[in-house]
Amino acid sequence: GQQVMQIPQYQHVQEGEDFTTYCNSSTTLSNIQWYKQRPGGHPVFLIQLVKSGEVKKQKRLTFQFGEAKKNSSLHITATQTTDVGTYFCAGHGNMLTFGGGTRLMVKP
């Protein structure tokens, strides 16, 4: 079945450093979605990528969708303490499958 792998599992960064999480699917995706879950909260939708090679930006966040539509990344520039949380990718193939998530911790 469809599998979505996400790395790293955890990342500690100093405030101001950059952060990247990577997502890889075992199958070609029709789209990929990214969500953020704050500690104790519920996942909140960030963005959806549909086109091969697509790049989208939201302030300090940059999202990429690979050319083969099987991988994606989220890059945060100059992290802030408000970026703390777990970032999940979710790949839409024949069903929506969540990656394991990357837990970001930011030291002030």
Partner 1 sequence: GAVVSQHPSWVICKSGTSVKIECRSLDFQATTMFWYRQFPKQSLMLMATSNEGSKATYEQGVEKDKFLINHASLTLSTLTVTSAHPEDSSFYICARGENNSPLHFGNGTRLTVT
Q: Which stretch binds partner 1 (CB under 8 A): 17-25, 54-62, 65-73, 87-95?
A: 87-95
Among 11, 87, 101, 104, binds partner 1 (CB under 8 A): 101
Strand ranges (DSSP E) for 26-76?
A: 31-37, 43-49, 55-58, 61-65, 71-76
Q: Is 48 in the site for partner 1 (CB under 8 A)?
A: yes
Among 15, 18, 45, 58, binds partner 1 (CB under 8 A): 45
Q: Point out which residues pair with 25 in neighbouring strands.
A: 4
Q: Which residues bind partner 1 (CB under 8 A)?
A: 30-31, 33, 35, 41-45, 48, 88, 90, 92, 96, 98-101, 103
